[in-house]
């Protein structure tokens, strides 16, 4: 599918809904407001030891927005972050509140690493450096246009609508989402952002790292283009305060609306409870997602904890 123009030749933009550049006054207003305290630790009851491969779809939340998908013998890692902080600084920035749900040394051989955008909670250079020299695999790193400069060793860069083969029968399509990108105060939107529609013999995986909801039309378009996902992985956290975050981050009610528009059969809620990025309490996204699903009569869409596994034919691990 051909998507609308989203670059002026220098910077990228959202063709449906411009993400506003917040002023210093806006940032100050947000930062001076009272923020709910997070506990120092929010341990998950789960820890996964993934097999070397899987034919049916198997998906594990490592933490925050990091997921491992195993399907048709292929292993795909998305937005890998094993660092203690989502930050360019080792001693400052959002601190991890739970251990990764898979030990880095316990990862299976990887066929591909997919990056959704350049924010530090999604593109972690330290983790990518550790993945590059692994002797048992040589993963292909795929990232949106302009992101390669931030990735050690570079990447295969993709525009919205581009597709790359990962393994026989497994193909990743870069798709739009309502977000933005930056790693410094000077490079805002000089790299693109995307989600991935991953076609597999088991069915379609739709992975969105970060997005606003806008009017929901994009989710309906993705369904029209790729069909109904077997599994939709959607962000449910980092949404408060709404006056600041709405254009770029869905809240749980919007995530349920997106899930319904996609016609997804199963869903994983991620992007919550690991890094204190915004103002909602640490466990609120999961509580609100369950309530929104109950109101909408939606089943099979659950907020996952690090190390929790979804298995095709077996659903997810029980929520403890």
**Structure confidence by residue, pLDDT tens digits, 5-31:** 999 999 999 999 888 887 778 777 877
**d(C-alpha 237, C-alpha 244), whole Å:** 14
Q: What's residue 86's pLDDT? A: 97
CB atoms within 10 A of CB 142: 23
- Which stretch of 32-36, 101-105, 193-197 has the lowest confidence by average pLDDT? 32-36
> Which percentage of the chain shows pLDDT scores above 90?
86
Task: Tell me which of 315 and 99 has the higher pLDDT.
Answer: 99
The mean pLDDT value for 293-311 works out to 98
Give me 214's structure tokens.
Answer: 């806008």
**d(C-alpha 190, C-alpha 106), whole Å:** 35
**d(C-alpha 217, C-alpha 109), whole Å:** 37
Each domain of the chain, given as residue ranges in start order, spans: 39-313
Give me 263's structure tokens.
Answer: 């016609």
Give me 181's structure tokens.
Answer: 């990108």
Residue 164 host element (H or E): strand 163-167
Q: Which residue in the block uniquely carries the two structure tokens 């989502």?
A: 86
Residue 25, Cα to own-chain centre: how many angstroms?
A: 29
Sheet of 266-270: strands edge to edge? 163-167, 170-175, 195-200, 203-207, 231-235, 266-270, 301-303
Q: Among 178, 314, 181, which residue's Cα sits nearest to residue 246?
A: 178
The mean pLDDT value for 296-314 works out to 96
Q: Residue 253 pLDDT more than 60?
A: yes
Fold of 39-313: Metallo-beta-lactamase; Chain A (3.60.15)
**d(C-alpha 145, C-alpha 132), whole Å:** 20
**d(C-alpha 149, C-alpha 146), whole Å:** 7
Strand duo 231-235 + 203-207: pairing: parallel
Strand duo 156-158 + 140-144: pairing: parallel
Q: Residue 319 pLDDT more than 60?
A: no
**d(C-alpha 134, C-alpha 154), whole Å:** 16
**Structure confidence by residue, pLDDT tens digits, 46-97:** 999 999 999 999 999 999 999 999 999 999 999 999 999 999 988 899 999 9
pTM of this prediction exceeds 0.85: yes
Q: Residue 137 pLDDT more than 70?
A: no
10 Å CB burial of residue 40 (0-12, 13-18, 19+) is: exposed
């Amino acid at each position: 599918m051909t998507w609308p123009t989203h670059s002026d030749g220098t910077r990228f933009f959202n063709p449906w809904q411009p993400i506003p550049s917040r002023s210093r006054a806006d940032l100050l207003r947000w930062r001076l407001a009272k923020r709910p305290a997070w506990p120092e630790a929010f341990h998950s009851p789960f820890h996964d030891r993934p097999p070397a491969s899987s034919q049916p779809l198997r998906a594990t939340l490592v933490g925050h927005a990091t997921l491992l998908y195993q399907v048709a013998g292929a292993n795909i890692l998305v937005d890998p972050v094993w660092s203690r902080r989502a930050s360019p600084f080792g001693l400052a920035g959002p601190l991890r509140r739970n251990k990764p749900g898979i030990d880095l040394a316990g990862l299976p051989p990887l066929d591909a690493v997919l990056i959704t955008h350049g924010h530090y909670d999604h593109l972690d250079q330290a983790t990518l450096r550790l993945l590059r020299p692994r002797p048992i695999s040589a993963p292909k790193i795929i990232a949106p246009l302009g992101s390669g400069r931030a990735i050690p060793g570079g990447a295969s860069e993709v525009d919205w609508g581009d597709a790359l083969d990962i393994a026989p029968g497994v193909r990743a399509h870069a798709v739009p989402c309502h977000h933005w990108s930056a790693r410094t105060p000077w490079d805002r939107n000089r790299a693109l952002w995307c989600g991935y529609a991953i076609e597999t013999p088991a069915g379609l995986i739709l992975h969105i790292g970060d997005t606003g909801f806008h009017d929901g039309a994009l989710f309906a378009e993705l369904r029209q283009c790729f069909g109904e996902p077997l599994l939709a992985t959607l962000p449910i956290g980092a949404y408060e305060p709404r006056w600041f975050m709405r254009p770029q981050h869905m809240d749980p009610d919007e995530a349920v609306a997106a899930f319904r528009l996609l016609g997804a059969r199963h869903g994983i809620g991620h992007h919550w409870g690991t890094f204190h990025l915004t103002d909602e309490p640490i466990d609120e996204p999961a509580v609100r997602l369950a309530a929104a699903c109950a109101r909408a009569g939606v089943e099979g869409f659950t907020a996952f904890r690090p190390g929790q596994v979804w298995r095709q034919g077996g659903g997810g691990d029980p929520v403890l």
